[in-house]
């Protein structure tokens, strides 16, 4: 327990250092764009594939559930709200942790193990500014974008199953969705995915930066990234959901 | 031979290490280390593995602080410098890492250009001229487009050397520059160290345990063992040393003042106990 607390404290202190290094890093948009590409564009295929299937499952399960109450026509609303507010941000964050988070950790960890970070310091270049901050910011930008792509494809998947396969009326599907989904629902999803972006990117760069400089150390750090990011994502998701329902 | 290592300290010394004590955990790495590096010279720091040669470099570059004693570089006490001061110091000191430590996501050209891009706003044509000339100096102009993974150990070290000199440092530090190199690469790196030192008028510190190679180029050598300088002088003076620890190190004898065995309990006792147990 004390270990977890002290680790939380260390991560918080590290966040402070990274934020301080982020201001100058923002002046170099090319480095950040490169990281948005690394974390974002390279995760697109897996995000799209998973989005499609999650949407299709929602279509099936949603239809089955709603049909019991005779309200299949609400499938569009149900699937969209589920995706926008919950599944989109959360599943994207879990996939991000597995795909982009691990590669961030192992990349930075190997840079540590092969003295690249020390070499930068010896060249009077602050690795927090040059390596860590751009990756951190890049991850935060990439996450909501990925979640948006996930949502769009997911809604398409739900429509594919609900309308084409199960026979829900297409007009009802879209018009009910249009009527019931508000900007508030969309912004809830955006706030969540930005929060998850901060969590997943921060934990990934933290673990990478503090890797024990051995092969086993890099492996362990990568595992810790996935585990910690997933758990923290789900815990914070609960808190944010509760806050949004109350507010 | 038991020369006072502080003989050399004076207005012309670039690095002055005075009575430094350093602990790693509870283990004392240095206990009263003294040495100084003359401007424009090649100074070799030799010693058996694990005597803290790399730690010495970390002290000089401000990565770690001594428990007591002072490390002065360019007349400034490194321990008193803040973050900015340390970075300003490091801009005047180039360092070559044992494995090169090239940035693996950049090609050779960009690796050499890296410090220039980070610290200056040179126009692109000027920057390219600068980088190409440094690559030419280490003989790797033709390898500019290669990625670090495609380089041999010797080539990687030469690229790292080009990167270390691209900002025209006043002091160049080499951490084990000969480890793992074939005889040809070793000769090349050896010659480069001497040439760069003389042509660019820099001061070089070479940490190594390759007695022959480093001895052939060094103006002044220190041998460290047991946390102290046990001998210093030119290679010739060291060769004629009668001190047992120096002789053991230079001749490569397995046992001597530096024991072959790691400290352990009585061997016979341990064997008897094992027999009794079985």
Each domain of chain B, given as residue ranges in start order, spans: 5-92+169-277
Return the residue of A nearest to B166 by Cα: A123
Q: ∠B148-B154-B157 over CA atoms, to 5°?
A: 65
What is the model's pLDDT at position A161? 93
What average pLDDT does the segment B41-56 reach?
84
Edge-to-edge strands, sheet with B13-24: B27-38, B13-24, B68-73, B76-77
Nearest to A141 by CA among A63, A74, A43: A43
Query: B90–A122: do the CB atoms touch at under 8 Å?
Result: yes
Q: Is the per-residue pLDDT at B248 higher than 90?
A: no
Letter string b/e over residues B101-137, b meaning 16 or more CB atoms within 10 A of that residue's CB: bbbeeebbbbbbbbbbeeeeeeeeeebeebbbebbeb
User: What residues in B contact A124, CB-CB < 8 Å?
Assistant: 87-88, 90-91, 115, 118-119
Confidence of residue B7 (pLDDT cuts 50, 70, 90): very low
Chosen for mutation from B115, B116, B147, B175 (greatest number of chain A CBs closer than 10 Å) is B115
Cβ A128 vs Cβ A120: under 8 Å: no
From the centroid of its chain, how far is CA B141? Answer: 26
Q: Is the per-residue pLDDT at B267 higher than 70?
A: yes
What is the model's pLDDT at position B229? 86
How far apart are the CA of B160 and the nearest CA of chain A, in angstroms?
Answer: 10
Return the residue of B nearest to A124 by Cα: B87
Say what the pTM is.
0.84
Q: ∠A26-A39-A55 over CA atoms, to 5°?
A: 125
Cβ A32 vs Cβ A25: under 8 Å: yes
Q: Is the per-residue pLDDT at A192 higher than 90?
A: yes
Q: Is the per-residue pLDDT at B30 higher than 50?
A: yes
User: What residues in B contact A115, CB-CB < 8 Å?
Assistant: 97-99, 101
Give B44's contacts (C-beta < 8 A, 6+ positions apart): B206, B207, B208, B214, B215, B217, B218, B220, B221, B222
Q: What dotted CATH number matches B5-92+169-277?
A: 3.40.50.300
Which range of A85-94, B86-95, B237-246 scores highest in mean pLDDT? It is A85-94
Nearest to A238 by CA among A186, A195, A185: A195
Interface membership of B178 toward A (CB under 8 Å): no
Confidence of residue B2 (pLDDT cuts 50, 70, 90): very low
Query: A110–B63: do the CB atoms touch at under 8 Å?
Result: no
- Residue B146's Cβ-count burial label (10 Å; 0-12, 13-18, 19+) is middle
Q: Is the per-residue pLDDT at B179 higher than 90?
A: no
Confidence of residue B201 (pLDDT cuts 50, 70, 90): confident
Residues belonging to chain A with any Cβ–Cβ distance to chain B shorter than 8 Å = 110-111, 114-116, 118-126, 130
pLDDT: which is higher, B67 or B3? B67
How far apart are the CA of B104 and the nearest CA of chain A, in angstroms?
Answer: 8
Q: Is the per-residue pLDDT at A235 higher than 50?
A: yes
User: What residues in B contact A125, CB-CB < 8 Å?
Assistant: 114-115, 118-119
Pairwise CA distance, residues B9 & A26, whole Å: 46
Q: Kindly provide the ipTM of the predicted complex, given to two decimals.
A: 0.79
The percentage of chain A sitting over the pLDDT mark of 70, rounded to a whole number, equals 100
CA contacts within 13 A on the Cβ side of A226: 12
Pairwise CA distance, residues B131 & B20, whole Å: 38
The neighbour count for residue B263, using CB atoms within 10 Å, is 5
In chain A the first and final C-alpha atoms are separated, in Å, by 32
Cβ B73 vs Cβ B60: under 8 Å: yes
Pairwise CA distance, residues A169 & A72, whole Å: 9
Interface membership of B114 toward A (CB under 8 Å): yes
Edge-to-edge strands, sheet with B42-46: B93-96, B171-175, B203-207, B42-46, B220-225, B228-233
- List alpha helices for A123-214, DSSP H: 127, 133-159, 170-180, 183-209
What is the model's pLDDT at position B100? 83
Query: A122–B61: do the CB atoms touch at under 8 Å?
Result: yes
Confidence of residue B13 (pLDDT cuts 50, 70, 90): confident
The mean pLDDT value of chain A amounts to 93
Q: ∠A232-A86-A143 over CA atoms, to 5°?
A: 65
Cβ B67 vs Cβ B22: under 8 Å: yes
User: What residues in A contact B163, CB-CB < 8 Å?
Assistant: 123
pLDDT, tens only, B135-168: 998 889 999 999 999 998 888 988 998 999 898 8
Confidence of residue B11 (pLDDT cuts 50, 70, 90): low
Distances (CA, A) of A113 to A196, A214, B68: 28, 6, 29
- Of A87-91, B142-146, B162-166, B256-260, the one with minimum mean pLDDT is B256-260
Pairwise CA distance, residues B255 & A147, whole Å: 66
User: What residues in A contact B115, CB-CB < 8 Å?
Assistant: 123-125
Query: B97–A118: do the CB atoms touch at under 8 Å?
Result: yes
Pairwise CA distance, residues A14 & A132, whole Å: 11
How far apart are the CA of A94 and the nearest CA of chain B, in angstroms?
Answer: 26
Q: What are phi and psi of A183, to 5 degrees?
A: -60, -35
User: What residues in B contact A120, CB-CB < 8 Å?
Assistant: 103
Confidence of residue B111 (pLDDT cuts 50, 70, 90): very high
Interface membership of B174 toward A (CB under 8 Å): no
Q: Is the per-residue pLDDT at A222 higher than 70?
A: yes
What is the model's pLDDT at position B184? 85
- Residue A213's Cβ-count burial label (10 Å; 0-12, 13-18, 19+) is middle
């Amino acid at each position: 327990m004390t270990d977890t607390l002290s680790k939380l404290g260390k991560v918080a202190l590290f966040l402070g250092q990274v934020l301080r290094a982020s201001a100058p890093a923002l002046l170099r948009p090319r480095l950040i764009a490169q990281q948005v590409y690394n974390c974002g564009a390279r995760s697109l295929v897996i995000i799209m594939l998973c989005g499609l299937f999650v949407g299709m499952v929602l279509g099936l399960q949603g239809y089955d559930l709603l049909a019991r109450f005779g309200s299949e026509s609400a499938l569009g609303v149900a699937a969209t709200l589920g995706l926008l507010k919950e599944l989109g941000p959360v599943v994207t964050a879990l996939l991000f942790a597995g795909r982009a988070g691990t590669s961030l950790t192992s990349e930075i960890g190997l840079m540590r193990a092969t003295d690249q970070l020390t070499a930068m310091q010896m060249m009077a270049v602050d690795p927090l500014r040059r390596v860590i901050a751009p990756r951190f910011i890049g991850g935060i930008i990439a996450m909501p974008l990925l979640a948006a792509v996930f949502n769009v494809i997911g809604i398409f998947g739900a429509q594919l199953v609900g309308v084409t396969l199960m026979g829900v009326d297409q007009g009802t599907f879209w018009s009910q969705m249009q009527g019931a989904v508000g900007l508030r629902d969309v912004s809830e999803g955006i706030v969540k995915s930005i929060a998850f972006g901060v969590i997943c990117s921060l934990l990934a760069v933290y673990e990478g930066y503090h890797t024990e400089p051995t092969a086993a150390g890099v492996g362990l750090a990568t595992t810790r990234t996935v585990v910690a990011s997933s758990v923290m994502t789900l815990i914070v998701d609960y808190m944010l959901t509760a806050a949004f329902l109350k507010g | 031979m038991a020369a006072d290592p502080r003989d050399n300290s004076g207005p012309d010394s670039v690095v002055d290490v005075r009575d430094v004590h350093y602990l790693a955990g509870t283990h004392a790495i240095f206990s009263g280390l003294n040495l100084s590096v003359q401007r424009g010279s090649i100074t070799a720091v030799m010693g058996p593995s694990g005597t803290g040669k790399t730690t010495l470099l970390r002290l000089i570059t401000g990565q770690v602080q001594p428990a007591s004693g002072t490390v002065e570089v360019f007349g400034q006490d490194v321990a008193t410098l803040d973050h900015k001061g340390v970075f300003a110091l490091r801009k005047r000191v180039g360092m070559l890492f044992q494995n090169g430590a090239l940035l693996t996501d950049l090609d050779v050209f960009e690796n050499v250009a890296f410090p220039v891009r980070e610290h200056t706003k040179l126009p692109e044509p000027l920057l390219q001229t600068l980088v190409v000339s440094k690559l030419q100096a280490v003989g790797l102009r033709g390898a500019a487009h290669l990625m670090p993974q495609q380089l041999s150990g010797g080539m990687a070290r030469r690229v790292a050397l080009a990167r270390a000199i691209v900002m025209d440092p006043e002091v160049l530090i080499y951490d084990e520059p000969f480890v793992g190199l074939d005889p040809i690469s070793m000769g090349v790196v050896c010659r480069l160290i001497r040439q760069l030192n003389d042509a660019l008028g820099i001061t070089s510190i070479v940490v190594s345990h390759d007695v022959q190679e480093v001895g052939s180029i060094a103006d002044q050598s220190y041998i460290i063992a047991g946390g102290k300088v046990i001998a210093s002088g030119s290679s010739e003076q060291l060769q004629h040393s009668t001190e047992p620890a120096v002789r053991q190190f230079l001749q490569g004898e397995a046992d001597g003042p530096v024991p072959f065995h790691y400290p352990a309990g009585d061997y016979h006792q341990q064997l008897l106990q094992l027999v009794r147990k079985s």
